[in-house]
């Protein structure tokens, strides 16, 4: 297993990323500044005077394209640094805006999808992140009168791409690590859905109020899921627009290494805070996932649905044979190291007193008949 991970921070522009050698990143998880959303105008204008000029002339489509040309330089680096078979997950929302009296939707997701296709990545089915919202006003445009009302945008995108064909896991360590990194069947059923509606968009507590306001951080659950879905323990995750370090924390908490770029060095203390908090957070995440699985097992046994395999590490029933070696990894310690952090990891062991649980009353009994009665231990 991976017992150490490295977390490199670069408070610099991600348009070059010279520090990262070619084909060394397993997964990119990121959320860029959103073109044509007003809060990012200053950020984009600083990178190219043509953007400031287009905005001041209220030439929306020109500004939109110039902002994306800036992001394109980062996508060049993403494609260069990604390993063959590696994934990229990009959280982005479209923008709506009135300029020169004209209301328009600026389709950021479509522009980024095309940019990555043009750079050779393969587009995969995307996820619509339908934020849990409490927005009081759903009207845009002419209200109840036809034909000038606009639908409210209540979703963002998680665009998914792969570099080339399927990732190859060689026999031996790589395959074993992949097996350890399996997720629970019931997690798979929820997470591999094209609509995520169970993650709130509410920004996280990040300390300083001013910094928090301009961070546009995504919730930890978002990179956490993507990392568990598209990488194995010990992999390296890149976030070129890392903001407050949410991706770094998700990588650290799940036993992956990370590389972060961020132009705004005011966020540096937030990385320190996140790193410090990760050991206890990681244990909590493991405990919650394990407890949720135990609940799933109990509910499934009550309904007498089959659950015929046994996880070898925790001795709990699992639905798929692929879950037999599933091992949750926790972060034990994080220390400053070079330009970032070094984290140590170990296998999660449930603290609860385990009770013997007889699964012979389920359908598992039938499949186990040949090899004798099956017993499992789960926490009370």
**Shortest separation between residue 37's beta carbon and ligand SAM, angstroms:** 9
Taking the least distance from each CB to ligand SAM, the nearer of 46 and 164 is: 46
Are 247 and 228 contacting, i.e. CB atoms less than 8 angstroms apart? no
Give the C-alpha separation, 124 to 165, whole Å: 12
The H-assigned helical ranges of the chain are 41-47, 49-56, 60-81, 108-118, 173-180, 185-191, 209-213, 221-230, 246-253, 268-302, 364-368
Give the C-alpha separation, 131 to 198, whole Å: 7
**Shortest separation between residue 245's beta carbon and ligand SAM, angstroms:** 6
**Shortest separation between residue 134's beta carbon and ligand SAM, angstroms:** 20
For residue 285, give Cα distances in angstroms to 33, 240, 250, 310.
Answer: 28, 25, 10, 22
For residue 345, give Cα distances in angstroms to 200, 238, 258, 334, 349.
Answer: 29, 19, 14, 9, 12
**Shortest separation between residue 34's beta carbon and ligand SAM, angstroms:** 7
Question: Where on the phi/psi map is residue 137: left (φ > 0), alpha (ψ -120 to 50), or beta?
Answer: beta
Query: Listing from the earlier edge strand, what are the strands of the sheet with 236-239?
Result: 195-196, 122-130, 155-162, 82-92, 25-30, 236-239, 257-261, 4-10, 340-347, 329-337
Taking the least distance from each CB to ligand SAM, the nearer of 29 and 328 is: 29
**Shortest separation between residue 303's beta carbon and ligand SAM, angstroms:** 38
Taking the least distance from each CB to ligand SAM, the nearer of 233 and 244 is: 244
Residue 295: partners with Cβ closer than 8 Å, 6 or more residues away: none
How many of the other CB atoms lie within 10 Å of CB of 329? 23
Taking the least distance from each CB to ligand SAM, the nearer of 35 and 317 is: 35
E-strand spans in 131-224? 140-141, 149-150, 155-162, 195-196
Taking the least distance from each CB to ligand SAM, the nearer of 153 and 367 is: 153
**Given the rule CB under 6 A, which residues bind ligand SAM?**
13-15, 31-33, 43, 215-218, 240-244, 246, 261-264
User: Closest CB to ligand SAM belongs to which residue?
Assistant: 243
Taking the least distance from each CB to ligand SAM, the nearer of 178 and 214 is: 214
**Shortest separation between residue 271's beta carbon and ligand SAM, angstroms:** 10
**Shortest separation between residue 39's beta carbon and ligand SAM, angstroms:** 9
Containing 88, the helix (H) or strand (E) segment is strand 82-92
Taking the least distance from each CB to ligand SAM, the nearer of 59 and 263 is: 263
Taking the least distance from each CB to ligand SAM, the nearer of 173 and 202 is: 202
**Shortest separation between residue 91's beta carbon and ligand SAM, angstroms:** 7
């Amino acid at each position: 297993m991976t017992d150490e991970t490295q977390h490199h921070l670069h408070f610099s522009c991600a348009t070059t990323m010279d520090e990262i050698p070619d084909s060394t990143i397993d997964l990119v998880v990121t959320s860029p500044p959103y073109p044509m959303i007003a809060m990012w105008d200053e950020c984009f204008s600083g990178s190219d005077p043509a953007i400031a000029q287009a905005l001041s002339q209220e030439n929306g489509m020109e500004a939109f394209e110039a902002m994306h040309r800036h992001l394109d330089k980062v996508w060049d680096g993403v494609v260069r640094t990604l390993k063959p078979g590696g994934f990229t997950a990009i959280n982005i929302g479209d923008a709506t805006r009135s300029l020169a009296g004209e209301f328009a939707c600026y389709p950021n997701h479509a522009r980024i999808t095309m940019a990555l296709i043009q750079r050779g990545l393969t587009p995969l089915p995307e996820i619509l992140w339908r934020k849990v919202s409490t927005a009081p006003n759903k009207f845009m445009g002419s209200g109840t009168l036809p034909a000038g009302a606009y639908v409210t945008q209540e979703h963002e995108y998680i665009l998914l791409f792969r570099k080339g064909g399927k990732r190859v896991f060689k026999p031996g360590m790589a395959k074993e690590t992949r097996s350890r990194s399996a997720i629970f069947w019931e997690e798979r059923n929820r997470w591999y859905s094209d609509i995520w509606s169970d993650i709130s968009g509410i920004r996280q507590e990040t300390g300083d109020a001013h910094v928090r306001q301009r961070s546009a951080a995504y919730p930890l659950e978002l990179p956490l899921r993507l990392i568990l879905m598209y990488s194995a323990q010990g992999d390296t995750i890149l976030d070129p627009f890392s903001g407050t370090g949410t991706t770094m924390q998700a990588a650290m908490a799940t036993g992956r290494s990370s590389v972060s770029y961020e132009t705004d060095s005011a966020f540096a203390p937030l990385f320190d805070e996140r790193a410090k908090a990760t050991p206890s957070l990681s244990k909590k995440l493991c405990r919650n996932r394990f407890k949720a699985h135990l609940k799933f097992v109990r509910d499934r046994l009550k309904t007498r649905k089959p659950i015929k395999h046994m996880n070898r590490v925790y001795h709990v029933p699992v639905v798929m044979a692929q879950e037999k070696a599933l091992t949750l990894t926790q972060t034990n310690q994080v220390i400053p190291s070079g330009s970032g952090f070094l984290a140590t990891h170990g296998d999660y062991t449930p603290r609860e007193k385990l009770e013997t649980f007889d699964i012979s009353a389920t359908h598992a009994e039938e499949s186990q008949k040949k090899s004798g009665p099956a017993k499992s231990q789960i926490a009370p």
